[in-house]
Every structure is written in structure tokens, then in C-alpha cells.
Amino acid sequence: MSQLVPPHGADTLKPLLLEGDARTAEQKRAAGLPQITLSSREVGDVIMLGIGGFTPLSGFMGQADWQGVCDNMKMASGLFWPIPITLSVSEESAKALSLNDEVALFDGERGEIIATLRVTEKYRIDKAHECQQVFRTTDPSHPGVKMVMEQGEVNLAGPVKVLSDGGFPQKYPGLYHTPAEARAMFEAKGWKTVAAFQTRNPMHRSHEHLVKIAIEVCDGVLIHSLLGKLKPGDIPAEVRSEAISVLLDNYFVKDTVVQSGYPLDMRYAGPREALLHALFRQNYGCSHLIVGRDHAGVGDFYGPFDAQQIFDEIPADALHTRPLKIDWTFWSYRTGGMASARTCPGDAKDHLLISGTKLRKMLSEGDDVPLEFSRPEVLAVLRKYYEGLAEHEKVKVELKGHSAR
């Protein structure tokens, strides 16, 4: 009997990826079906459905589920879910389909059919309403809003049969793990409580501090990097993984941390995305999610601790995975080490606030990076990456919102 937290809304994980003969047969059948080309976000959602990361979903949400998730963070069944998982198509594509038709879901970037869908519902949505509820804004400069407003006019709902892992195990060997594989690793280590650390950046000194706090209160930590698409200027997963590896090798006790990755794109939904991060980390077996400053935020669309506060607004039984809330962290010149606003006396002038955006800006512009900001082994990996960028690959990094403090 596992002593890890149970999967969300189920006794066991519910991966939708077919295997063996069933997969081969469905692949042959899918080749003759009408095709729908997926967006990058939808590809990531299909892969998560396939590996059981979105347990207990059986496919893309219908209108009642979409409405309930947007308005109350509940599906029609009453199951807690914070962000709609939907598939959209153009008006023309929707007209060509009837209910109970089956379609092949095509990943245009990889050039392969990754799933089949049986259409149980076709419906229109109020995109602005979804954006206001999920992102708390309809501002088109918000990348999540832009994504929703540009999607197709009609949503398709229905169960899916997943045919591909998206090539993630081959692209990220030793880094990419399914929820079942992560749970097996934790159980082999004898871990009962596991904190997940969500990151789309290499780890600087504040990140290191957060993870070490979690190690003190949990059996271990899963450093869980996003492997899907990021916004321009973010650091690729391969570089990020190498930078995290040298940090772990030099500054962490062995077997207290597991580094892994997952296949989603960022939605930049701030508080709602923090809840989604906790939900699928529950499926990975994590009892806690580290929630620091501006979790999953972008610009100044959210307050620095909105993602912490939202956990106090949901029902106590909504999730088994609990937030590990940590205040502003910084290098304190007064105490000579990392500290937080709850532990360190002194004025703001004694604090060096650290952020991934600040680090990327300094590195991209060739500026010196204080050792209080990042470990030298990590900086060596990142400098090598930035020095190797061609001129057209360089993106100007701007400090906005909380990162500008």
C-alpha cells in the first residue's frame, strides 16, 4: 500500500496512452480519420492525458465542465479543477464534423498523429469570460489571454485515446518521468512526503533557499521543470537541466532531491495555474507544492502572493497536495546569507532581491552577476549558453512587475 498522496479524484492513476497491439491497431485506424492539427498547448495537454498527469480526466472538457471550471473551479461532477482543458477548431472544421465522429489529433511540429478523439459535443465559448475568470484579465498583452483569444471558434469535447509520448523520453533521457515513474522513485527512496518545486528557469540562490527549506520539512523534493514551450527569452530545458544538475551536485546532500520534467506549456495564469500545478503534482505523488513569490505569473498581472492566497479560498478537501508558502527571499547583507521577509530584520537597502528575470537580463547583456545571486558553477553553464547565441537568437529582457523591484 502506497503511503504517498493518492491521485486526484481517483484511487489509481488513469493514463490514456495505449500500449502494444491496441496502440498499433489504433494508429492504423487513425491514419484514415479526418485530422485536426493541435496547438502547442493542446499537444502538451494530450501528452499529460496520456501519462496520467491529468487523472481522472478521460479527454477534453464539454461545455458544462468548461463553464463550471471557469466560474467555480468545479467540473459538472463536482470534481475540483482550476483551468479548462479544451480543444478548439475553426468554424469550418466544426461544421464538417457530426457527433460521435472520430478524428485524429495531429502534432504538426513532430508530424505525427498523437491521439484520436470521439466527438461527443461541439460548443462555442465566451473567450473573454474564460480569460477574465482564469487569468483575471482580458488584456491581450497577457500571453495566456492571447493564446485563448487566438484559438478556434468552436470547442470539441470527448474521450481520447493517446498514441504518442511526444518524444519526450527520447529528447530528455533521465529527466522526463511519468507520474507512475515518479511515484516509483519516491517509494524506492522511502519518501512519504515530497515537495514539488515548479520552475521554468535555472535555479538561482533564492530557488536554492526555497528547496532547502522544503528538504527540512519533507522527506525529499521533486525539482520539476517545464519542458513545453516558453516565452521568448526564457532558457531552454537542456541548458536549465544542466545548470540545475551542477547546483545539485555541488550544494545539496545526495538523495534529498530528484530532478525531473513535465510536458506542458506555460499558461501564465498565476493563482489558477498554481492550483493546476498542485493538482497534477498530486498525481505525481507530491504532498506539497512550494509556492513562493509570483508563482506562474507574468508582468504585473498578479500580486506577489496571490498564488498563495488562492489556496485559502478553495475547499479544504479540494486537493491533497498542500502549498508550502514562503515569503520574499533575498540575500541579506546584514546577516550574510539567504533570508526571507519573515526571518530577517533590517531595511530593504540591506536586501538583494533575486529573480530569474533579473538573472536572464544580466546574462543576456553580458553584465557581471554577483555571487550572492547565483552559484559560480551555475553561472558558468549559463554564460556558455548566452555566449553561443547568434545575434538573431538574442531577446531583450525587460524587468516588469515584481521582477523590477
Q: Which residues are catalytic?
A: 200-201
Task: List beta partners, residue 198.
Answer: 224
Place of cell 531583450: 396
Residue 186 neighbours by CB distance under 10 Å = 24
**Grid coordinates given for 348:** 530593504
The residue type at 113: I
DSSP string, 131-183: HHHHHS---TTSHHHHHHHTS-SEEEEEEEEE---TTHHHHSTTTB--HHHHH
Task: List beta partners, residue 112.
Answer: 107
Burial 326-361 (b: 16+ CB within 10 A, else e): bbbbbbbeeeeebbbeeebeeeeeebebbbbbbbbb
Please tell me the distance from the alpha carbon of residue 381 to that of residue 369, in angstroms, as a whole number: 13
CB 61, CB 121: distance < 8 Å: no
Residue 387 neighbours by CB distance under 10 Å = 9
> Max Cα separation, the chain?
68
CB 193, CB 288: distance < 8 Å: yes
Q: Based on the number of CB atoms within 10 Å of its own CB, is 180 exposed (0-12), middle (13-18) or buried (19 or more)?
A: middle
Please tell me the distance from the alpha carbon of residue 131 to that of residue 151, in angstroms, as a whole number: 12
**Grid coordinates given for 151:** 484559438
Cis (ω within 30 of 0) for the bond into 56?
Answer: yes
Q: End-to-end CA distance of the chain, in Å? A: 48
Place of cell 465522429: 101
